[in-house]
Structure 1
């Protein structure tokens, strides 16, 4: 018997990526990431969505670090 698909709420994604919920919400909104479905009133996202959000979070952090590093 196969495993059911992993579906994660915004809060669970934030917990797994060790960041604040508002950052996850920003990425979802600005990158127009579609929810995989709904669980009651909560949007749920797939593992592929989690991977996409994680890569976008890393890219944002890299851009921020590049902008704040002193220029020589």
Structure 2
């Protein structure tokens, strides 16, 4: 029988560190983008799947593109 690999969950601070962004910016994305949902909650801390990292990066790219006056990525 194959052993299942453990699911890796990350906090908003972990996502911010991986993306090189201020934690507050990532927290704002997570609070305002309702399609990025926590995978679980550990006490008062929301934890996200590693797939959320790519979703947050996409949102940051869209914000940066709008600020530069470029068409948003689709």
Please give the TM-score of this superposition, normalised by the length of structure 1. Answer: 0.81
**Larger helix share, 1 or 2:** 1
Is residue 54 of structure 2 the alignment partner of residue 48 of structure 1?
no
Q: Displaced runs of 4+ in structure 1, greater than 4 A?
A: none
SS at match of 1:34: coil
- Structure 2 gaps of 5+ residues are none
Distance in structure 2 (CA, Å) of the matches to 1:21 and 1:12: 9
Distance in structure 1 (CA, Å) of the matches to 2:56 and 2:6: 21
Please give the TM-score of this superposition, normalised by the length of structure 2. Answer: 0.79
Deviation at 1:41, TM superposition (A): 2.3
Deviation at 1:40, TM superposition (A): 3.0
**Larger strand share, 1 or 2:** 2
Structure number with greater CO (CA < 8 Å, separation at least 6) is: 1
Equivalent residues in 2 for 1:1-72 (5 A)?
Answer: 1-32=3-34, 33-66=36-69
